Amino acid sequence: MSSNVGLSTPRGSGTSGYVQKNHAFLRPRDGPPHHHSPSSMAPPRKPRTADASILLHEQKRNIEVACLELQDELEEAGELDEEQIEARVDELRKKMTTELESGAASGAAYRGKGRDGKGGRREFKSHEVHEMAAQKEREMERLRSALGISKDYEEGSHWRRQEEDKERRMRNAAEGDDDGRRDRRYERTERRRSRSASPER
């Protein structure tokens, strides 16, 4: 050991006590991390959308599962013959198919009801990604309408507008903008516009 560096004694450490420099060590950097301007950043990721054909297939599959369960139940009871069982199963299949088609026509193809048929938020299994995406879309639509945000709003557009205003002011200042009269005029018109504009609902 020299200059209080390393082990006081190499005994029991499994080493010779020789002190070496750690070449893999990276010094922590001082100061804030490097920030990119909003214009140089990558566009925001699009949220995952649900595939309507997969959702429809899953609903048709659920209809067939219900029909098979009814058929098994009736066969276990043994009270009906094969033709009567087939008739009841076909009746259930037609009823559920018409409900599915009427729901799809009204835009309510998949409302996210639980397996017990009750409404509300339901827990999805890990493989039900399209059902989760459909529920998330409905949830975001409800939130958007509750907050009064228009459908064509882009995330971060406020910052882009501020950057454009800043660049315009700098350009005008470089041109010698008659003491900023144009800026004041622009700000007045913007204030009037913002007062007269009402949020979409």
Q: Give the model's pLDDT for residue 18.
A: 78
Same domain, 61 and 132: yes
Structure tokens at 138: 């409905």
With a cut of 60, say whether residue 116 has pLDDT above it: no
> Average of pLDDT values for 46-64?
85
For residues 183 and 101, membership in a common domain is answered with no
Q: Is the CB of residue 148 less than 8 Å from the CB of residue 200? A: yes
Domain that holds residue 100: 52-116+127-147
Q: For residue 66, what pLDDT is reported?
A: 94
74 within domain boundaries? yes
Residues 111 and 167 in one domain: no
Considering the domain architecture, whether residues 90 and 166 belong to the same structural domain is answered as: no
Q: Would you say residue 141 lies in a domain?
A: yes
Q: Is the pLDDT of residue 179 over 60?
A: no
- pLDDT band at 197; cut points 50, 70, 90: low
21 in any annotated domain: no
Contacts of 103 (CB under 8 A, 6+ apart): 109, 111
The pLDDT > 70 percentage for the chain reads 74
Are 88 and 80 in contact by the 8 Å Cβ rule? The answer is yes
pTM for the model = 0.44
Map residue 46 onto helix, strand or coil: coil
